[in-house]
């Protein structure tokens, strides 16, 4: 099977993905995801899609809030990442679909909620590329369905932003290299964080993808943002 460079990256690091994440974020990725999952689950609905679910951390957090008649579907284009999710308590029996975010194998108006955690930067760094993926999420959401996206962002304060970029530039590459022996991918990962959109520009992506009522909550002085939006 021919893998894209991103698929190959997750194929190579799937077993070390969570430990690298914990080291890079000093464990903060866990409470951030829990917060996004709590926000998402409070928005209701019975059909949830955790897109780019990876090893299932966000799905496991969503599962903590799931009602008896709610169905959680997980999707990712890396089978190796989803295999790890499969072994997590509570996720064994969830539907897992091998799918590309740009071409989802779901009918229009299928879901009440779509979540995506720390994967948007993998989809594209530019507005037009992201609009393609988020229009696809809009398509599979029912009218007035909810989108919750948690991703790195850009702090408003110039000082905090320069500290954040300094941290990313000096810490991520060595940690990634120590755990995986792969310098190139973690160089890309670090530059994708420093080059990603600020929250207002990401709101524009959502609006251009057909979403309304866009809003965001900054975490860690704006280094992370939880965006919410309604589908049309």
Ligand X SMILES: C[S@@+](CC[C@H](N)C(=O)[O-])C[C@H]1O[C@@H](n2cnc3c(N)ncnc32)[C@H](O)[C@@H]1O
- 118 scored as a contact of ligand X (CB under 6 A): yes
How far, in Å, CA of 95 to CA of 187, rounded? 34
Reported for 199-206, long-range contacts at CB under 8 A and 24+ positions apart, including other chains, are 199/153, 199/154, 199/225, 199/227, 201/127, 202/120, 202/130, 202/149, 202/151, 202/153, 202/227, 203/227, 204/127, 205/127, 205/130, 205/131, 205/134, 206/134, 206/147
Number of residues that bind ligand X (CB under 6 A): 20
Applying CB under 6 A, the span of 73-81, 156-164, 196-204, 213-221 interacting with ligand X comes to: 73-81
Rounded distance between C-alpha atoms, residue 86 and residue 95, angstroms: 10
Q: Closest separation between CB of residue 157 and ligand X, Å?
A: 26
- Helix, coil or strand: residue 197: coil
Q: Nearest approach, Cβ of 159 to ligand X (angstroms)?
A: 27
- Closest approach of ligand X to the CB of residue 18, in Å: 8
Which helix (H) or strand (E) element contains residue 212?
strand 212-219
Residue 77 CB, nearest approach to ligand X (Å): 4
Residue 84 touching ligand X (CB under 6 A):
no
Quick one: which segment of 100-108, 159-167, 198-206, 209-217 binds ligand X (CB under 6 A)? 100-108
Per-position b or e across 43-59, b if 16+ CB within 10 A of its CB: bebebbbbbbbbbbbbb
Is 122 an interacting residue with respect to ligand X (CB under 6 A)? yes
Stretch that binds ligand X, among 72-80, 87-95, 203-211, 212-220 (CB under 6 A): 72-80
Could you say which of 13, 32, 63, 76 contacts ligand X (CB under 6 A)? 76
Residue closer to ligand X, measured from CB, 8 or 156? 8
Nearer to ligand X, 33 or 161 (CB): 33
Positions 150 through 189 that interact with ligand X (CB under 6 A): none
Contact characters 39-68, ligand X, x per CB under 6 A = -------------xxx--xx----------
Q: CA-to-CA distance for 87 and 177, rounded, in angstroms?
A: 26
Residue 117 in the binding site for ligand X (CB under 6 A): yes
Contact 60, 90 (CB under 8 A): yes
Contacts of 81 (CB under 8 A, 6+ apart): 10, 14, 17, 53, 54, 55
Choose between 58 and 114: whose C-beta lies nearer to ligand X.
Answer: 58
Q: Is 77 in the site for ligand X (CB under 6 A)?
A: yes
Cβ-contact 151, 124 below 8 angstroms: no
Q: Site residues (CB under 6 A) for ligand X?
A: 6, 10, 33, 52-54, 57-58, 76-78, 81, 100-102, 117-119, 122-123
């Amino acid at each position: 099977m021919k893998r894209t460079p991103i698929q190959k990256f997750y194929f190579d690091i799937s077993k070390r993905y969570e430990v690298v994440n914990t080291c890079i974020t000093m464990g903060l990725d866990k409470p951030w995801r829990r917060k996004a999952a709590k926000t998402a689950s409070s928005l209701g609905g019975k059909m949830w899609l955790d897109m780019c679910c990876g090893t299932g951390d966000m799905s496991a957090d969503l599962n903590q809030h799931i009602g008896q008649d709610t169905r959680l579907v997980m999707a990712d284009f890396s089978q190796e990442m989803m295999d790890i999710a499969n072994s997590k308590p509570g996720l064994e029996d969830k539907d897992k679909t091998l799918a590309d975010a740009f071409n989802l194998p779901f009918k229009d108006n299928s879901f009440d909620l779509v979540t995506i955690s720390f994967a948007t930067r993998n989809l594209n760094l530019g507005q037009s590329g992201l609009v393609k993926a988020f229009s696809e999420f809009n398509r599979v959401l029912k009218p007035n369905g909810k989108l919750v996206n948690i991703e790195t962002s850009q702090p408003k304060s110039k000082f905090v932003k320069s500290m954040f970029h300094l941290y990313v530039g000096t810490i991520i590459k060595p940690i990634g290299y120590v755990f995986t022996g792969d310098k190139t991918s973690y160089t890309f990962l670090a530059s994708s964080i420093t080059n990603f959109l600020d929250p207002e520009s990401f709101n524009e992506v959502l609006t251009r993808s057909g979403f309304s009522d866009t809003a965001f909550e900054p975490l860690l002085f704006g280094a992370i943002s939880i965006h919410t939006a309604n589908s049309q």
